[in-house]
Amino acid sequence: MVNRAQPVKSGSGIIAAALVAALIFATLAAVFMRAEHGTGFTRADYSVLRFTLVQATLSAVISVALAVPVARALARRRFFGRGILITVMGAPFILPVIVAVLGLLAVFGRAGWLNQITGFIGLPPVQIYGLHGVVLAHVFFNLPLATRLILQAWQEIPAERFRLAAQLGFGPRAMFRQIEYPLLRRVVPGALAVIFALCLSSFAVALTLGGGPRATTIELAIYQAFRFDFDLARAALLSLTQLGLTILAALMVLQSAGATAFDSGPGRAVRRWDGKNLTAKLFDMACIALAAVFLMLPLAAVILAGLRTLPDVAGLMLWPVLISLSIALISTAILLLLALPMAVATALGRGAGLLETAGLLGLAASPLVIGTGLFILIRPIANPTALALPVTALVNAVMALPFALRILIPRAREVIRRHGRLALSLGMAGGPFIRRILLPRMRPQIGFAAGLSAALSMGDLGVIALFADPDFATLPLQIYRLMGAYRMADAAGAALMLLFLSLTIFWLFDRGGRWHAEA
């Protein structure tokens, strides 16, 4: 694909990637420059590093391993409520951390539903706190994401492939070798990299479910260096370590990604002939049911906890909802402006690994360091508080970028492969190609990426806490404020509201992208 004339150029994508990298490294540099004194690594940091790596690796591997059969089942089965299920399954990913943790504990905690059942039938209680609890929580957050990414790849297999496979009478083994394995090689490394990066900077979840200081992650050390020791050099050094680990992991994993793309067909609706026997059906049903139960029960707990107080708090939350919605929409716009050119540039192949790694930076850098760095950079020019809205939207967009790239890149690659030559021979390049060919064909992926980004932005506390003034509170911030004022029940009501809004906005974008398309 390299060195061939292409209907689009990679320039704007490279610029977007450079901007993202510049933003991350400028904030880091700003924190470094502002530092007065500093302690380097201590001996205790190595066990922190080890725990961080172990939990992030386990979380990423298990999330993706479980997502494969679930995505396959969802790809080859059609049943009533499938679309809703896929949307709602994404909910854990967009909830504020503390709300999701409370939901998880309502099911798996010491006094949770699971232990009430085991207690009833006389089994010893299940202990959730520990490394397995951390991994369980991270799988809860990331299984939906991994499933959606793999499911999307599955849906991009051209219908002709399945037709051909059926005509040749492929059994499950041949099916796996010829179709599924190449597909997984293409999508799994990217999913692993994103989830690894996400879990690497986990802090509150890891600490709470880890059961004590053994479960200390780098992000906690950064927080401590910042807040209690005001050791900016150490905070920046630790953040750099976090970045380094992510880049290393990303390069390693993305290196192993297969570049095999499927030959394209005319894009007709997919029909499946495989997996018709009873064992396959039962297996798929079990996968879907188990994933649904695992993801839905904690959500049910969140909903039950919030129902009672929702009417009381709804009125108080009008402003925060509007502010959160504006941030989500601005953030989504910024995201698409960054992600689309980057996806196209990556699809063209030159420096693809670097571009994708630049996209991961936003997730790998400590939010605290980015926020503080931006604060230091903005303050000499303008009042940071006055810029709270655009800054929060920008940071949210950069953090959602890795997810958007994972969604957009495979499709961009395919569209350019399939239509590039024809378009060029017709003298169609640049703007017309983008408007008439590329964007319309990427609509489902753009919708999904936009929905995910908007929902993530809605639910994320982000850097708003660093910049906020009292009249400018987002919905997640109000939820934390309610909790900080003993009002846990009201916070549950507000959290339910957030859940509902985030899912709605996600559904609108996602559905909008797939309008008139089989999904």
Partner 1 sequence: MKYSVFAAGILSATAIMADTPELTVYTYDSFVSDWGPGPQVEQAFEEICACDLKLVGVEDGAALLARIRLEGAHTDADIMLGIDTNLMSAARETGLFAPHNVTTEFDLPVAWEDPVFLPYDWGYFAFVHNAGEDAPANFRALAASDKTILIEDPRSSTPGLGLLMWVKAAYGDEAPAIWEGLSDNIVTVTKGWSEAYGLFLEGEADMVLSYTTSPAYHLIAESDASKAAAAFDEGHYMQVELAAKLAATDQPELAGQFLEFIVSDAFQSIIPTTNWMYPVRVPKAGLPAGFNGLIQPEKSLLLPADEAAALKNKALDEWLTALSR
Which CB sits closer to partner 1, 127 or 260? 127
Give the nearest distance from C-beta 50 to partner 1 in angstroms.
12
Rule CB under 8 A: which of 180-219 touch partner 1? 203-204, 207-214, 216
The answer for residues whose C-beta is within 8 angstroms of residue 152's C-beta and 6 or more apart is 187, 407, 410, 445, 448
How far apart (Å, rounded) are the C-alpha atoms in residues 190 and 146?
10
| Cα within 13 Å of Cα(150), Cβ side | 29
In the bound state with partner 1, the residue whose beta carbon lies nearer, of 449 and 483, is 483
Half-sphere CA count of 410, side-chain side, radius 13 A: 31
**Number of residues in contact with partner 1, rule: CB under 8 A?**
60
- Sites for partner 1 among residues 69-98 (CB under 8 A): 98
104 near partner 1 (CB under 8 A): no
Q: Is the dihedral of CA 466, 469, 471, 472 positive or negative?
A: negative
Listed residue (280, 295, 107) closest to 180, CA to CA:
280
Shorter beta-carbon distance to partner 1: residue 67 or 98: 98
* Of residues 250 and 313, the one with the C-beta less far from partner 1: 313
Told to check if 111 binds partner 1 by CB under 8 A, we report yes
CA dist., res. 396 & res. 387, Å (int): 14
E strand or H helix at 393, and its extent? helix 388-425
Binding mask 226-255 for partner 1 (x = CB under 8 A): xxx-x-------------------------
Angle separating helix axes 388-425 and 318-348, nearest 10 degrees: 30
Encoded tokens for 131 = 């490394």
Among 316, 322, 422, 426, binds partner 1 (CB under 8 A): 316
Please identify, among the stretches 82-90, 222-230, 397-405, 499-507, the one whose residues bind partner 1 according to the rule CB under 8 A: 222-230
Q: Do 417 and 264 meet the contact criterion of CB atoms below 8 Å apart? A: yes
Give the 3-state DSSP-derived string for 129-176, with helices as H, strands as E and coil as C.
Answer: CCHHHHHHHHHHHHHHHHHHHHHHHHHCCCHHHHHHHHHCCCCHHHHH
Q: Least separation, in Å, of the C-beta of 238 and partner 1?
A: 13
Tokens standing for residue 232: 């900016």
CB 231, min distance to partner 1, A = 10
Least distance in Å: CB of 348 to partner 1? 31
Q: Which of 350, 481, 511, 514 binds partner 1 (CB under 8 A)?
A: 481
Nearer residue to partner 1 within complex by CB, 67 or 393: 393
306, 495 contact by CB (below 8 A): yes
Applying CB under 8 A, which part among 14-22, 169-177, 283-291, 460-468 lies near partner 1? 460-468
Q: Choose, by CB under 8 A, the member of 41, 129, 176, 283 that binds partner 1.
A: 129
3-state DSSP assignment of residue 461: coil
8 Å CB contact between 438 and 280: no
Please identify, among the stretches 18-26, 55-63, 284-292, 481-489, the one whose residues bind partner 1 according to the rule CB under 8 A: 481-489
Cβ neighbourhood burial of 159 (10 Å; 0-12, 13-18, 19+):
middle
DSSP state of 259: -
Q: Are 20 and 362 in contact (CB under 8 A)?
A: yes
Least separation in angstroms between CB 227 and partner 1? 4
Question: Which region, left, alpha or beta, applies to residue 298 given φ > 0 means left and ψ of -120 to 50 means alpha?
Answer: alpha
Could you say whether residue 223 binds partner 1 (CB under 8 A)? yes
What is the chain's Cα-based Rg?
23
Q: Is 48 in the site for partner 1 (CB under 8 A)?
A: no
Q: How far is the CB of 379 from partner 1 (least distance, A)?
A: 7
Residues 6+ apart with CB under 8 A from 386: none
131 binds partner 1 (CB under 8 A): no
3-class secondary structure, 79: coil
d(CA 303, CA 266): 44
The single residue among 5, 269, 278, 382 that binds partner 1, judged by CB under 8 A, is: 382
Report d(CA 459, CA 466) in Å as an integer.
Answer: 16
For residues 413 and 10, is the Cβ–Cβ distance under 8 A?
no
- Where does this chain touch partner 1 (CB under 8 A) — which range of 55-63, 137-145, 291-299, 478-486? 478-486
Among 469, 515, 517, 518, binds partner 1 (CB under 8 A): 469
Rounded to the nearest whole angstrom, what is the least distance from the CB of residue 142 to partner 1 in the complex?
20
Q: In angstroms, give the least distance from the CB of 226 to partner 1.
A: 6
Among 19, 29, 34, 504, binds partner 1 (CB under 8 A): 34
**Interface with partner 1, residue 383, by CB under 8 A:** yes
The nearest distance, CB 372 to partner 1, in angstroms, is: 7
Nearer to partner 1 among residue 49 and residue 153 (C-beta): 49
Compute the least distance from the CB of residue 13 to partner 1, in Å. Answer: 23
Confirm if 296 and 88 have CB atoms less than 8 A apart: yes
Member of 240, 387, 424, 428 binding partner 1 (CB under 8 A): 387
Instruction: Say whether residue 282 binds partner 1 (CB under 8 A).
Output: no
Query: Read out DSSP for 218-239?
Result: HHHHHHHHHHTS--HHHHHHHH
The yes or no reply on residue 519 touching partner 1 (CB under 8 A) is no
Q: Least distance (Å) from partner 1 to the CB of residue 121?
A: 20
Question: One-letter amino acid identity for 419?
Answer: H
Name the site residues for partner 1 (rule: CB under 8 A). Answer: 34, 44, 47, 98, 101-102, 105-106, 109-111, 129, 203-204, 207-214, 216, 220, 223-224, 226-228, 230, 316, 372, 375-376, 379, 381-383, 385-387, 390, 465-466, 468-470, 473, 477-478, 480-488, 491
